[in-house]
Amino acid sequence: MAQRNTYREDEELEETINFHDLWRIGKYLRPHGWKLAKIACVVILMSCITVAVPYLTKVVIDDVLPHKNYTLLVWLTVIMLVLSILYEFALRYRTLEITRVGQLILKDMRRDLFTHIQTLPFSYFDSRPHGKILIRVVNYVNTLSDTLSSGLINVIADVFTFIITLVVMFVIDWKLALWSLLLFPLLIVVVRVLQHFQRRAYQDLSNKQSNLNAYIHESIAGVKTTQTFAREHEQYETFQHLQDEQRTSWMRAVHIQFLLWPSMQIISMTTMALIYYVGIMHVAGVTATTGTLIAFVGYANNFWNPVINIGNFYNQLITCSAYLERIFETLDVKPEIVDSPDAKPLPPIRGDVRFDDVVFRYEPDGRNILDHVNLHATPGQTIALVGPTGAGKTTIVNLLSRFYDVASGAVLVDGHDVRGVTLDSLRSQMGVMLQDTFIFSGTIRDNIRYGKLDATDAEIEAAAKAVHAHEFIEELPNGYDTVVEERGSTLSMGQRQLIAFARVLLADPKILILDEATSNIDTRTEEALQAALQHMLVGRTSFIIAHRLSTIENADMICVVDHGQIVERGTHAELMEKRGEYWRLVESQYAMISAE
């Protein structure tokens, strides 16, 4: 599994075709089995028509014309006309239905990919560029379109046409049929040789497309930094380099792919010439009528066209196997945090939280990030977590939300171990506000409503007023109906945080987690926000992480976290009186402020 995390790295791919991945496609075909069966019947009918026409032509040349049986000629002409019309209607039905089924299959596969990605741990997204994830959901799935729909059905028709044509050829003249198959082993050798090179070429193309997509995504996200440092030319040079690599890989793959088709055409035309020569020159005792020869040339087309189509499908399969490998690799990533088999819904909580001798590490044999942490928060209590960067503050609240599981000990909410309740019932009763807030594209009203999808406009405005966001929202051109861009790029960082805070408060959680939630709000706004939040914190168990210590002076308990342990705890006054770690943090921060 690929764990690269930059656009500069190619991801590792399987050396050979993984037929297990191809077999797994059946999961997406089964729901459409009846439709595919009907299409297959129509396709088989078309194959029968294709096989019947050369035989009718033979009858006309060998039997009808020499005996001047014009009545039979009229009937055969009518039959061939009816078969042609029937073929065209069948072709239209096949094309429409195959397209419809193919799009449904792609929709199902894309749905599974998107749904699965939503469940993956943070570490998955931290270790991969988002552009490389995006290309799997969109580009790679789209590439499978023809293969999963028309390609699959057509190859069934081609196999049937191949078999029935072969049978008819042997029935008409088995010697001439054997001559028709003389070059078939050569075709198999050509296909086997080209298959290996083509797969490697498309694997390389898959990597280069992924790298380019990742870089474009990264460049768009960092365009402000690029312009700030005037690095447009450097970005352009890198883009051109990646684009050239992608183009080179594409041309190499196309060159190899298109070696197969002319090779098959040459073998096919050589076979037809051979049939004419053997039939006319009576080689090896072959005696064939003019009708038989013409029919055999028609059957040779019916024989080699399916072979060429099957070869092209095999070509597509080789190409798609590189993309399927990436798609199923993503689907095979197991979510690290899932509901246990006996998990039960967490009933409405009061907000009693207990960390009972909690030990946490990211890797089983890694160092302890949290080392025997004990903490008890009673319902409605406000707990502040302070300490240096990397001390373990955010890890504590991540364990409470169960984004990770403890290595030993337990995290309890109202006496329930968080590992024994369903994730949805746990997280739906918590509100989390992070420093890096995310604003979705859409109206401000919809962004706030994200916290409670059935909220009324009055509830939305009440939440906005509580966090002092109402004032600036009303000043916007369309108020709450103002459309903001992705990530809220048209708003200031402080405004984005206020909207995100209103979203959390609207959810009315019993447990509130604020992780550096006020770090990007100016002092005036922060003072207003602190005053507004006092009544909102009542009745909620709150965990506040803050480097700006002035924001947590009124907390019921302040815990100083250092090296994965709670080294001090108490109220602001108690800790200042101890003149320990907390006192030193406060003094150093005031000294920095005074120096400014």
Residues 376 and 543 sit within 8 Å (Cβ to Cβ): no
pLDDT in 10s for each residue of the chain, 596 residues: 344 445 555 555 554 556 677 777 778 888 888 888 888 888 888 878 877 777 787 778 877 777 778 788 888 889 889 988 998 998 888 888 887 887 888 888 888 888 888 888 777 776 777 777 777 777 777 777 666 666 666 777 778 778 887 887 788 778 877 887 788 788 778 877 777 777 778 778 877 877 887 788 777 767 766 776 677 788 888 888 888 988 988 888 888 877 777 777 788 788 878 877 877 777 766 777 777 777 777 777 667 777 767 766 776 777 677 677 778 888 888 888 888 889 999 999 999 999 999 999 888 788 888 989 999 999 999 999 998 888 888 899 989 989 888 999 999 999 999 999 998 899 888 888 776 677 887 889 988 998 888 889 999 998 888 878 888 888 888 889 988 876 666 787 778 878 888 888 888 888 988 887 666 566 666 665 666 566 567 778 999 887 777 678 888 999 999 988 999 999 999 999 888 888 888 887 776 655 55
Element (H, E) at 465: helix 457-466
Residue 355 to residue 374: CA distance in whole angstroms: 5
- Report residue 526 as tokens: 């922060």
- Report residue 413 as tokens: 């909410």
Distance from the Cα of residue 574 to its chain's centroid: 52
Residue 287 to residue 175: CA distance in whole angstroms: 9
Q: How does 325-353 read in b/e, with b if 16+ C-beta sit within 10 Å?
A: bbbbbbeeeeeebebeeebeebeebbbbb
Residue 376 to residue 373: CA distance in whole angstroms: 10
The CATH homologous superfamily of the domain defined by 19-332:
ABC transporter type 1, transmembrane domain (1.20.1560.10)
Residue 262 to residue 268: CA distance in whole angstroms: 10
Element (H, E) at 557: strand 557-562
**Record: fold of 438-508:** Rossmann fold (3.40.50)
For residue 356, what pLDDT is reported? Answer: 94
Residues 217 and 131 sit within 8 Å (Cβ to Cβ): yes
Query: Crossing angle of helices 290-332/70-119, nearest 10°?
Result: 10
Half-sphere exposure in the Cβ direction for 272 (13 Å, CA): 16
- Nearest of 80, 140, 81 to residue 110 by alpha carbon: 140
Residue 304 to residue 297: CA distance in whole angstroms: 10
Residue 130 to residue 134: CA distance in whole angstroms: 6
Residue 594 to residue 588: CA distance in whole angstroms: 10
Residues 457 and 443 sit within 8 Å (Cβ to Cβ): no
Amino acid in the structure at residue 159:
V
Phi and psi at residue 401, to the nearest 5°: -80, -5
Longest dimension (CA), the chain: 122
Residues 559 and 566 sit within 8 Å (Cβ to Cβ): yes
| Domain range summary for the chain, segments of one domain joined by + | 19-332, 438-508
- Report residue 110 as tokens: 């894309």
Residue 500 to residue 516: CA distance in whole angstroms: 13
Tell me the three state secondary structure of residue 308: helix
Residue 269 to residue 98: CA distance in whole angstroms: 31
| Count of beta carbons in the 10 Å neighbourhood of residue 239 | 14
pTM higher than 0.85, yes or no? no
Length of the chain: 596
| Count of beta carbons in the 10 Å neighbourhood of residue 475 | 9
